[in-house]
Amino acid sequence: MQPQIVFLDRITLNVPLRSVNLAHQWVGYAQTRPEETADRLKDAVVAITNKVVINEAVLQHTPKLKLIAVAATGYNNIDLEACRARGITVCNVRDYALVGVSEHALMLMLALRRQLLAYRTDLMAGAWQKATGFCLLDHPLHDLNGSTLTLIGGGALGQAMAHTAKALGMRVIFAEHKNAAIVRPGYVPFNDALAQADVLSLHCPLTDETRDLLGEKEFALMKPTSILINTARGGIVDETALLAALQNHQLAGAGIDVLIEEPPRAGNPLLDVDLPNLIVTPHIAWASEETMQQLAEQLIGNVEAFLNGDPRNVVS
């Protein structure tokens, strides 16, 4: 009998997806609500999910399931412990968004350091038209060249961001784990790394260790001229504390591509304000067509590798 492969949220990968090059039965759903997940996976051997949660309650009803292929790098929507207990392999996609995420983070850095939103607002309000001089200098501008970029996360994404930043003449340092007893070669103690940052950019996963990694205490360590960039995961940053830091001028700006709840149906403090030094984008750093196509190819390759008895990119 051909193995059934079920893609639970195909709408999240808006590029062509080639067929798995092995005998199989394909079932694709545009979206899947939590109450539908178990029923849709009852005959599945392979489940593909981007953001649909697969937990203990779901796995109790999936006797044939052997592989969960996550269509993303982050896999915090999967109960790994429950999968291990049932011998279910979990794999993810890796290193596909090195260019896309770095470019998006760079865009946010440039927009904030060059006060793009503030000057656009002034221009739309007629401030330049009324200026006494040839230019408008109401907001301080800063170059990225010569500034210090602190990176949290030294994996492939962090290294790609470092490569891009160095090409612009930025000084790059990597922050050691918070409260680490030993500082690894090439890293800077966490608090010192925050204090040195002109730009702080996050490129780490959301785990128990990184949840609420940055909050009121950490923002107080940073320069009032520094900016925060988060293209990693919502939950790493305390959003209420971040808003307070921006409003109290403890930080000069923030560029955020991820929120704790996505989509933010119940609202979010960062969406309830209109600040010239806050840019929020709807989790799209990874979503260029070129980047998504790389993800799609690796995803199908992961499924084929597992079905051929040679699983790859295994996280559990």
pLDDT at residue number 222: 98
The answer, as to whether pTM is greater than 0.75, is: yes
Same domain assignment for residues 65 and 157 = no
The candidate with the shortest Cα–Cα distance to 231, out of 206, 212, 203, 266, is 203
Which CATH number do you get for residue 227? 3.40.50.720
How far is it, in rounded angstroms, from Cα 71 to Cα 172? 30
Known catalytic residue: 84?
no
Same domain assignment for residues 42 and 126 = no
How far is it, in rounded angstroms, from Cα 150 to Cα 276? 23
Question: Does 314 reside within a domain?
Answer: no
Single out the catalytic residue among 113, 218, 233, 239: 233
Same domain assignment for residues 296 and 272 = no
Same domain assignment for residues 143 and 270 = yes
Identify the burial level of 18 via C-beta atoms within 10 angstroms of its C-beta, where 0-12 means exposed, 13-18 middle and 19 or more buried. exposed
Same domain assignment for residues 77 and 117 = no
Site of tokens 């759903």: 29
Q: Which two tokens stand for residue 115?
A: 């006060």
What letter would DSSP give residue 277? T
How far is it, in rounded angstroms, from Cα 51 to Cα 10? 10
Question: Does 312 reside within a domain?
Answer: no
pLDDT at residue number 181: 94
Same domain assignment for residues 152 and 251 = yes
pLDDT at residue number 74: 85
Single out the catalytic residue among 216, 262, 289, 290: 262
Same domain assignment for residues 43 and 127 = no
pLDDT at residue number 241: 98
Question: Does 285 reside within a domain?
Answer: no
pLDDT at residue number 76: 87
Question: Does 316 reside within a domain?
Answer: no
Q: Are 304 and 20 in contact (CB under 8 A)?
A: yes
Known catalytic residue: 262?
yes
Question: Does 190 reside within a domain?
Answer: yes
Same domain assignment for residues 115 and 48 = no
Question: Does 313 reside within a domain?
Answer: no
Task: Encode pLDDT of 216-263 as tens digits.
Answer: 999 999 999 999 999 999 999 999 999 999 999 999 999 999 999 999
The full length of the chain comes to 316
pLDDT at residue number 146: 98
Question: Does 315 reside within a domain?
Answer: no
pLDDT at residue number 160: 97
Q: Are 104 and 285 in contact (CB under 8 A)?
A: yes
pLDDT at residue number 1: 80
Residue type at position 210: T
Same domain assignment for residues 16 and 60 = yes
Site of tokens 């002034």: 122
Site of tokens 């962090």: 158
Known catalytic residue: 104?
no
Q: Are 152 and 175 in contact (CB under 8 A)?
A: yes
pLDDT at residue number 86: 97
Same domain assignment for residues 86 and 150 = no
How far is it, in rounded angstroms, from Cα 201 to Cα 207? 17
DSSP H/E element including 220: helix 216-221
Task: Encode pLDDT of 118-155 as tens digits.
Answer: 999 999 999 999 999 999 999 999 999 999 999 999 99
Task: Encode pLDDT of 6-62 as tens digits.
Answer: 999 999 999 999 999 999 999 999 999 999 999 999 999 999 999 999 999 999 999
Task: Encode pLDDT of 158-207 as tens digits.
Answer: 999 999 999 999 999 999 999 999 999 999 999 999 999 999 999 998 98
pLDDT at residue number 306: 98
Same domain assignment for residues 129 and 245 = yes
Task: Encode pLDDT of 295-313 as tens digits.
Answer: 999 999 999 999 999 999 9
The pLDDT confidence band at residue 94, using thresholds 50, 70 and 90, is very high
Structural domains counted in the chain: 2
Same domain assignment for residues 162 and 242 = yes
Q: What domain range is 26 assigned to?
A: 4-96+290-307
Question: Does 155 reside within a domain?
Answer: yes
Single out the catalytic residue among 94, 171, 283, 297: 283
Task: Encode pLDDT of 238-251 as tens digits.
Answer: 999 999 999 999 99
